[in-house]
Amino acid sequence: MDSASAPFDSALFPEGVKRCKFKWFLFWVAVLHGPIMVGVIGTLMCWGLALNVTYLNNNYPFGLWIAADLGIIALGGGAFFTGFLRYVVNIEELKNIVNYAVVIGVICYAAAQGILGIDIGQPLRGWFIFWHANVHSMLTEVAFCITCYFMVLCIEYLPLILENRQINKLGFFHGLAHHLHGAMPTIAAVGVFLSFFHQGSLGGVPGVLYGRPFAFREGFLVWPWTFFLAILSAIACGPCFTILVTWFTEKCAGKQLVKKNVIDILAKISGRLLVLYLILKILDTIVWVGLAKGVGAPFSSFYANQPYGYWVLITEIGILGIIPAMLLLSERVRRNEAGLIIACLLNCAGIFMNRWIIVVQTCAQPVMSFDKFVSYHPNWVEYATTLVFVWVGAVVIMLSYRYLPIFPQEKELNPL
Amino acid sequence: MFPFAFEWIAEPTRYVFMGALYAVLIALIIILHYCAIRAFLDMICKKKNHNHH
């Protein structure tokens, strides 16, 4: 591309890559600002008029926001797990996708914290959980770990920003990026430690509710079995979400950004972990059925009220569990783009559904003989304030892709 | 909360929770400072070498 036809911000692009014209970039950023503004209005309504503008109530103190929080954090698990595989297990090929996994992780964790900022109603009191910490609560552990892990992700994102072509010309920033890369195995190890605990605790929170037979599980020491299942499910679906977002970015950019063998490694690992997760999940379900029956809550009672019929269990474990696991295990399917993307979509949808069940269906189950089943549907304020982070995330991805060297193989795959 | 705050209750879980939190925060601060100081020293050395040549 000659200098006359190059976009005016081309000096900021990574070396040897092509980007669209600045006016098109600006156009798409402006388009995304429409739904972002709707989300901002919803947020201001929640803060200004309190949470009665939502459909949350005493039956459902946890609704779409918390379910989305748990889902987003599980999907963002791709960042810590890819970092673990790259820096601790030392799978060299993953260096070509670990940067993008970090960007996705930053967006997911920022979204989770943003949603919590709206959900607590009074974000100015958000610091209470750190100062007046209830050290017997799994949610306190989650809050500590999510905050710290977000810091870790920001530190992992920092060298990418410093490697921008213009910033990198400054000696200090060039050196800082270099040394941060050197420290990355230590930072990744800290991230793994934090992620292990908060991913698990998010699954463990319903597991310790001994007053709710639908959610309660026995376990090991202070951790219910759902603690370990949540970790396994997060590391099984996180890489699939990274593959999905990478695929979508490639479609938007109109070019290949990561080699197939790198994607295949992630898909293969994800498939094997999903199989392990499903085996343990099915065992857990069988044990839970016996346990609940023993305390007077027969299996059928959990699926007696629509929309939470038996289809929920069949869909979660069968359609969104066993099918993607079989697809991901097959090398032929993994090599086929459509097959791989369908498998990843089903896997991610399955984990999201699991989080919805452990949050919303748990609240839905009547626990007292005089309790009545009450249904819950989120309203537009909840949807808008949840989806706002998807649109903001898209803008962050667009900025990162345009100005930062997040795809090391892009130059080789797309010579100018 | 810090152990010297009047609201602090001396119980094992509090030491584990808050201890782990501060350990992680201190580790991150040390890593960032270590990298920044190394980068600064590199920059100084480069400038010195440049002046010598």
**DSSP letter string over A63-87?**
-HHHHHHHHHHHHTHHHHHHHIIII
Does the bond joining A14 to the residue before it have cis omega, within 30 degrees of 0? no
Task: Yes or no: say if A15 and A416 are a contact pair by the CB < 8 Å rule.
Answer: no
Nearest to B35 by CA among A181, A194, A95: A181
Task: Yes or no: say if A108 and A79 are a contact pair by the CB < 8 Å rule.
Answer: yes
Measure CB to CB from residue A144 to each of B7, B21, B31 and give the nearest one: B21
The per-residue pLDDT of chain B, averaged, comes to 88
Which residue carries 């950019």 as its tokens? A253
Alpha helices in A212-314 (DSSP H): 225-253, 260-294, 299-302, 310-313
* Percent above pLDDT 90 for chain A: 72
Worst-scoring range by mean pLDDT, A38-47, A154-163, A202-211, A225-234? A202-211
Measured between alpha carbons, how far is A111 from A379 in angstroms, rounded to an integer? 19
Measured between alpha carbons, how far is A287 from A245 in angstroms, rounded to an integer? 36
Q: What is the pLDDT, as a whole number, of residue A1?
A: 53
The per-residue pLDDT of chain A, averaged, comes to 92
b/e burial code for range A321-342 (CB count within 10 A of at least 16 → b)? bbebbebbbeeebbeeeeebbe
* Percent above pLDDT 70 for chain A: 99
Q: What is the pLDDT, as a whole number, of residue B53?
A: 62
**Is the pLDDT at B52 greater than 70, yes or no?**
no
Single pTM value for the model: 0.93
The HSE-up count of residue A238 (CA atoms within 13 Å, CB side) is 32
Domain parsing of chain A, residue ranges: 19-54+379-394, 62-365
| Residue to test with chain B: of A138, A147, A148, most B Cβ within 10 A | A148
| pLDDT band at residue A374 using 50, 70 and 90 as cut-offs | confident
A-to-B residue pairs, Cβ atoms closer than 8 angstroms: 68
Q: What is the pLDDT, as a whole number, of residue A219?
A: 87
Of residues A256 and B7, more confidently modeled:
A256
Of residues B52 and A22, more confidently modeled:
A22
DSSP H or E stretch at residue A412: helix A410-413
pLDDT digits 0-9 by tens, A264-302: 999 999 999 999 999 999 999 999 999 888 888 888 888
Domain parsing of chain B, residue ranges: 26-53
User: Is CATH 3.20.20.140 the classification given to domain A62-365?
Assistant: no
b/e burial code for range A276-296 (CB count within 10 A of at least 16 → b)? ebbeebeebeeebeeebeeee
pLDDT digits 0-9 by tens, A242-268: 999 999 999 999 999 999 999 999 999
Q: What is the pLDDT, as a whole number, of residue A2?
A: 57
| pLDDT band at residue A117 using 50, 70 and 90 as cut-offs | very high
Alpha helices in A51-170 (DSSP H): 64-75, 77-83, 98-119, 128-131, 138-162
**Is the pLDDT at A31 greater than 80, yes or no?**
yes
User: Which residues, numbered 5 to 44 in chain B, qualify as contacts with chain A under a Cβ-Cβ cut-off of 8 Å?
Assistant: 7, 11, 13-14, 16-18, 20-21, 24-25, 27-28, 31-32, 34-36, 38-40, 42-43
Measure CB to CB from residue A148 to each of B25, B42, B46 and give the nearest one: B25
Could you give the 3-state DSSP secondary structure of residue A344?
helix
- Whether residue A176 and residue B36 make contact (CB cut-off 8 A), yes or no, is yes
- Bridging pattern class, strands A223-224 and A219-220: antiparallel
| pLDDT band at residue A157 using 50, 70 and 90 as cut-offs | very high
Worst-scoring range by mean pLDDT, A279-283, A355-359, A365-369, A388-392? A365-369
Measure CB to CB from residue B43 to each of A155, A171, A183 and give the nearest one: A171
